[in-house]
Amino acid sequence: MNINALKVGYLRTNCYILEKNNEVIIIDPADEYLKIKEVIGDNEVVGVIITHHHPDHVGALEFFDADKIYDYYNLNEGMNTISTFNFEMIKTPGHKEDCITIYFEDEKVMFTGDFLFFNSIGRTDFPGGDNKAMKDSLAKIQKYDDDITIRPGHGKSSNLGYEKNNIGMYTSNL
């Protein structure tokens, strides 16, 4: 699987375009549809996954087929398949009640939206945010392997093992 990352929109949100066998899944089409479309090229869009419904993550959503949009409400927690893409959906509320993390085990990569960042976690003071839910989500994510790459909704990538070392610091501030 090839992963392309674009920074789009006014908050420079990470939009990920996952390509395999001339098919793509887009994670968080935040804005700038024409920029996203250029990276898609001639590949077929088989799915669009939304990590949570904040405006800076869904700005270009209207340009995609509604039948191919997946999120907290129509993915099952656990294993899911969209065409040839197999992944685990993990409910990770805290930043917002509908936050999900998408984990591709074969590639050892997690798309965490605004749940977990390099050296930080998502804010819980926005509508839908919840400190206890964030603590529970951070506890849940600790069962996963340290060598997983974290692809957040903003900023640079990280490593789950590195972030696990900071979880105590993150939760003490909630």
Q: Does residue 174 have a pLDDT over 80?
A: no
State mean pLDDT over 55-82. 97
123 within 8 A of 28, measured Cβ to Cβ: no
- Decide the pairing of beta strands 85-91 and 78-82: antiparallel
Number of domain units in the chain: 1
Reference 72, options 90, 48, 84; nearest CA is 90
Mean pLDDT of the chain: 96
pTM, to two decimals: 0.96
The CATH number for 11's domain is: 3.60.15.10
Backbone angles phi, psi at 21, to 5 degrees: 55, 45
Q: Which residue has the higher pLDDT, 132 or 170?
A: 132
CA distance 39 to 19: 10
Give residue 123's domain range: 2-172
51 within 8 A of 100, measured Cβ to Cβ: yes
pLDDT tens, position by position, 80-90: 999 999 999 99
CA distance 57 to 126: 15
